[in-house]
Amino acid sequence: MKKMRWLWSYRIDSTEKWLEDLMNKGFHLKSLNRFSRVFTFEQGDSIKKKVRIHYGEKTIAPQLASAGWESAANSGKWQVLTNERQHVSIFPNKDQLFKRTRIHAYLYLLISTFYLTSYLSFILLFGLILNISSETFQIGPLLLPVIIYTGLVALTIFVFRAYRTFEKQLLGTAVIKKSRTKKIRKIRLAWMYEPLRTTIWLEEMAERGYELESVFATIFTFRPKEKNNITYEVTFEPKVNANYFQFHKDVGWELKYTSNITWLNYTIWGMSYEEGEEKPAFSYDELERRKVAKKAFFMNCGMSLFVLLICAQSLYMNTVTIDRPFLDWSYMGVIRIMLVVMSVFWIFMFVRIVSGYRKELKLISGA
C-alpha cells in the first residue's frame, strides 16, 4: 500500500502519530520517498510501536540503538525510527530538524516579501496594460499573479506556524497565563529599543501592585498582585539555542515574553526576590551590559537601514522607471504613497533607536 502525505516534514508530530496508527492496524512502513512524498507500507501483524522522525545523520547513534530504536525507512537525511519497548527513556534529537524548519520558514517569508515588494505590482500593472491595449477585459493576466502569490502566502503561513509550534515544544517558549482576574493593559511603543527603561517601568508597575503577565506586540498585560519585589530583564540575543530558555528557567527566571523568532530574539524575564536579598540580574558588570546594549543597537540599526533600503529601491522603481505623476489616482499611485509612509515611519524608528541607545548608556553608567 502506498500513501502520499503532503507537507509531512512540517507536520512531524501528526505524521509520527499517523504512522503509529497505521502500524497498530498492521501496516508497516517499508520505504519513504522524500521527493514524491510517498510512504510505502506492507500489511502484517498489528504491532504497537513508538515512531520518531529523525533528520540528520544517516546512521543510528549507539545510544539510540541500545535504547531499542531501529530504522524502518530512510531517504536522504530522513529516517523513520521505531521502537517496540513500552518504556523508552532516550529519544532522537530534533535539533537538526528544528534548524531545517526554521531556515525554511524564514526563506518562505523572505521570498513572499520580496515578491510582494518587487514583482507583484509590476505583474498586475502589466495585466492592466494588456486589458487597456486590447480594449477587452481579460481576467487571466490579473488573476494568475494573485493566485500564485496567495498560494505562496498560504504556504509561508503554514510553514511558519509549524515552525512556531515546533519552537514552543522544543525550546519551551510558551508563556503561562496565571489567572482570570481583572487585568489592565498598557501600550508602550518601541519598548524593545529601550530595554533598560522598559525594565525600570515594569519594576515600577510591580511596586504599584501589578505583575506582568504577557506581552503582545506593544500591548503589556498586567494582573493585580500584592506589592512585592520583582525584578525584570529585557534581553536581546542574535540567536538562541535549545538550552537558552531552560537554563534561565532552572535558575528561577520566569518567561514573560519572547518574540516570534529565535534569530534577533527579544525576551522578557521576571523573578521575585525577598526584601533584603540582592536583586537578581543577568549581569552586574557595567562593561558587559554596555556590550549587550551595543549589540542590540547595531542589530536594530541594521534592520531599520535594510528596510529603508528596500523602500528606497521600491520608490525608485515606482517613480523613475514609470513615466507617471507621483500623486496619481491609480494602483501604482497608492503603492507610492504607502512606500512614502513606510519610509517616514522607519526614519522615525531609526531616530528612536539612536536616541534610545544613548539614553540606555546613561542609565547603565548611573546604575
Phi, psi of 2 (to 5 degrees): -120, 140
Check: CB of residue 205 under 8 Å from CB of residue 228: no
Q: How far apart are CA 365 and CA 123, in angstroms?
A: 54
Cell of 11: 507536520
Structural contact between residues 91 and 53, judged by C-beta atoms closer than 8 angstroms: no
Q: Which amino acid is at 345?
A: F
**Who's near 58: CB < 8 A, 6+ residues apart?**
74, 77, 79
Q: How far apart are CA 48 and CA 264, in angstroms?
A: 43
Indicate the residue type of 133.
Answer: S
- In this prediction, residue 179 carries a pLDDT of 60
Q: Report pLDDT digits (tens) over 171-190.
A: 766 666 666 668 899 999 88
Contact residues for 163 (Cβ-Cβ < 8 A; gap 6+): 10, 101, 102, 104, 105
Contact between 141 and 124 under an 8 Å Cβ cutoff? The reply is no
Strand 263-272 relative to strand 230-239: parallel, antiparallel, unpaired?
antiparallel
Tens digits of pLDDT across the chain (367 residues) = 889 999 999 989 899 999 999 998 988 899 999 889 999 999 988 888 899 999 988 888 888 888 889 988 989 899 999 998 888 888 888 888 888 888 898 888 888 877 776 665 566 555 555 554 555 545 555 677 778 778 888 999 998 888 888 877 777 666 666 666 688 999 998 888 888 889 999 999 998 889 998 898 889 999 888 767 899 999 888 877 767 887 888 888 998 988 866 677 889 999 988 887 888 888 877 888 888 888 888 888 888 898 888 888 887 777 776 666 666 666 667 777 888 888 899 899 899 899 888 888 888 887 5
Phi, psi of 54 (to 5 degrees): -120, 140
Element (DSSP H or E) covering residue 103: helix 95-114
Largest Cα–Cα distance of the chain, in whole Å?
A: 82
Q: From residue 76, how far is each of 33, 47, 81, 184 by CA, in Å?
A: 9, 26, 14, 52
CB 293 within 8 A of CB 357: yes
Q: Which set of grid coordinates corresponds to residue 249?
A: 528557567
- β partners of residue 52: 81
Pair type for strands 230-239 and 78-83 = unpaired
**pTM: predicted TM-score of the whole model, two decimal places:** 0.62
